[in-house]
Copies of this chain bind each other. A is one copy, B any other.
């Protein structure tokens, strides 16, 4: 009998190894996006490179998306089931300058932009910085 995470991995064509299930579990427990270093610390003993490659695999298969919030370490968060990481799937991200957490504002789609003529669009990264609702003003 297959676990939920097993199925979740398989629908994204990722072979469900023990390691991958564990990483997926950690990711699904997060309320904010997580860096490779953060992820490493969630495990007693796990190799950074294996986690790194696990995240790469997850990202390539659109199970997660990466967020470059300008802090110097890339964050990762689970995609929605239906997400294909196309421009229309994208949402705004928020980096709190107080608690340094990076949140997916999944309810806020990235606004569409009228590019100059003969520019084509492939992707948009929109990161808002400020103070989040959990932090004192």
Contact with B along A72-91 (1 / 0, CB 8 A): 00000000000000000000
Given contacts A97-B122, A119-B131, 7 further A-B contacts (CB under 8 A): A105-B116, A108-B114, A118-B132, A119-B133, A120-B131, A124-B128, A126-B127
Top 6 nearest A-B pairs (CB, nearest first) are A118-B133, A111-B111, A123-B129, A121-B130, A122-B130, A68-B70
Chain B residues contacting A113 (CB-CB under 8 Å) are 92, 108, 111, 126, 128
Contact A127 B130 (CB under 8 A): no
Chain B residues contacting A125 (CB-CB under 8 Å) are 70, 125-127, 129
Chain B residues contacting A118 (CB-CB under 8 Å) are 132-133
Smallest CB gap from A96: residue in B: B119
Contact A126 B129 (CB under 8 A): no
Contact flag A115-B129 (CB < 8 Å), given A70-B68, A120-B137 = no
The docked-state distance in angstroms from the alpha carbon of A116 to that of B130 is 12
A3 at the interface (CB under 8 A from B): no
